[in-house]
């Protein structure tokens, strides 16, 4: 089951009881400085547009919308709550899909370049000798 929750400046808080393990994704905001605060018994998360988190089953969850820059402009956010499948394999696939939507800091996921191995003149010379002996 999936639910789309709309939160705006006039209705800043929504409370839901999530019966199953669920992925929560902030799918849209009216401005880049708008974020949704997800509060559970054990955890708190701030979700900007594209961010997501997983909420365990049987959890009372509160969703609050905030704006970092003050002003009188109206603001809103859309949150998508999706139940995760019960089977372990299907759950893992759903988690991977959910977290692929999460924005990461630039360069955070890039693999570090392997350091080039320095080869000394002596090592080159001994490699040439070994190659010459072989054939």
Does 112 map to a domain?
A: no
Domain holding 69, by residue range, is 2-100
Q: Across residues 119-134, what is the average pLDDT?
A: 74
Place of tokens 């800043």: 12
Evaluate if residue 101 carries a pLDDT over 90. no
Q: Across residues 7-33, what is the average pLDDT?
A: 90
> How many domains in the chain?
1
Closest CA to 44 of 61, 68, 25, 57: 61
Other beta carbons within 10 Å of 22: 24
Q: Across residues 8-28, what is the average pLDDT?
A: 90
CB 15 within 8 A of CB 79: no
Does 121 map to a domain?
A: no
φ, ψ of residue 133 in degrees (nearest 5):
-65, -40
Does 79 map to a domain?
A: yes
CATH of the domain at 25: 2.60.120
Does 130 map to a domain?
A: no
pTM above 0.85, yes or no: no
Does 107 map to a domain?
A: no
- 31-75 residue pLDDT tens: 999 999 999 888 888 999 989 889 888 989 999 999 988 778 899
State the pLDDT confidence band at 87, using cuts at 50, 70 and 90. Answer: low
- 62-71 residue pLDDT tens: 999 999 887 7
Q: Residue 63 has what pLDDT?
A: 94
Neighbouring-strand partners of residue 45: 38
Does 125 map to a domain?
A: no
Does 7 map to a domain?
A: yes
């Amino acid at each position: 089951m999936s639910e789309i929750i709309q939160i705006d400046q006039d209705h800043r808080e929504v409370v839901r009881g999530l019966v199953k393990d669920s992925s929560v994704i902030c799918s849209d905001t009216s401005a880049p400085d708008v974020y949704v605060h997800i509060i559970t018994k054990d955890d708190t998360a701030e979700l900007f547009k594209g961010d997501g988190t997983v909420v365990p089953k049987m959890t009372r969850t509160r969703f609050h919308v905030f704006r970092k820059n003050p002003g009188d402009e109206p603001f809103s956010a859309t949150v998508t709550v999706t139940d995760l499948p019960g089977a372990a394999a299907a759950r893992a696939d759903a988690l991977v899909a959910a977290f692929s939507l999460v924005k990461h800091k630039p360069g955070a996921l890039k693999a570090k370049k392997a350091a080039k191995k320095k080869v000394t003149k002596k090592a080159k010379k001994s490699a040439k000798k070994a190659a010459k002996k072989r054939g």
